[in-house]
Amino acid sequence: MTVYVDADACPVTRIVEESAKRHGLPVVLLCDTSHVLNSDYSTIRVIGEGADAVDLALMNLCQRGDIVVTQDYGVAAMALGRKAWAIHQSGMWYTDENIDRLLMERHLAAKARRSGKHHLKGQRKRTREDDLLFEESFEKLLQAAGA
């Protein structure tokens, strides 16, 4: 079992590394060439530029039983299709039961943005409480995955 992190601007990378290290799990951080990552624990894979280059590289590496950390619903859907576990940086687990709804919500939000008629708010500033919620949820996921 390997933990793969869609690490472009991922705010929970260090939490993932600390938890995975406690469980003896390898972590691979994937990012594009416009990001610079450093880690004493994880393997860092810098992927060439391109709209979906990191996503495609992650899916080429991901296998059944692995864990994927991503905020991208499309990546999560592909991970679930490979029978991997997937978790959002908020701590929400992606599942076969919620992924279709999430993808539809993403589609509708993109459609609203393109229309120019709706002004959607961006994400709020991340708090320490958000980090604690993610850490708790990630630990539960690791246990559920058999780590």
Q: What is the pLDDT of residues 72-120, one digit of tens each?
A: 999 999 999 999 999 999 999 999 998 888 888 877 777 777 777 666 5
Confidence label for 52 from pLDDT (cuts 50, 70 and 90):
confident
Instruction: Please report where in the chains the tokens 């990630």 appear, as a residue.
Output: 138
Q: What percent of the chain has pLDDT over 90?
A: 67
CATH number at 3-144: 3.40.50
pTM of the model: 0.87
* Mean pLDDT value across residues 2-21: 95
Distance between CA 54 and CA 119 in Å, rounded? 29
